[in-house]
């Protein structure tokens, strides 16, 4: 029975299912001189290269968007906690 390959490419997308070591994990996220995206150390696809300044811009934008979403969610929760409203019904049947 033939062994299945643990790493390679399918339709141009890299995969790697070898057991990751700590040094391989760290070195795959920090590759100076490489582009913004690098192959994942484990799994399918690409990940951010933290040695590239563009990756930090992506992380910063994602953080700002997450913060903005949390702020809008908390303000919506505060708006739904209104005080009770007094309703006056006029039953004048003239």
pLDDT score of 19: 87
Higher pLDDT, 64 or 27: 64
Q: What separation in angstroms does the CA of 37 have from each of 19, 52, 55, 72, 88?
A: 21, 9, 8, 31, 63
Whether residue 87 is contained in a domain is answered as: no
Whether residue 40 is contained in a domain is answered as: yes
Residues contacting residue 41 through CB under 8 Å, at least 6 positions apart: 16, 20, 24, 25, 28, 29, 47
Whether residue 83 is contained in a domain is answered as: no
pTM above 0.75, yes or no: no
Residue 67 belongs to domain spanning: 7-72
pLDDT surpassing 80 at residue 77: no
Whether residue 82 is contained in a domain is answered as: no
Question: How many domains does the chain divide into?
Answer: 1
């Amino acid at each position: 029975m033939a062994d299945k390959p643990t790493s390679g490419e399918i339709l141009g997308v890299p995969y790697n299912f070898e057991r990751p070591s700590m040094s391989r994990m760290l070195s795959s996220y920090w590759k100076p001189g490489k582009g913004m995206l690098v192959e994942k150390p484990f799994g399918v696809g690409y990940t951010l290269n933290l040695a590239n300044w563009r990756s930090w811009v992506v992380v910063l934008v994602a953080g700002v968007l997450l913060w903005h979403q949390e702020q809008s969610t908390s303000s919506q929760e505060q708006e739904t906690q209104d005080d009770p409203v007094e309703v006056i019904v006029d039953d004048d049947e003239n």
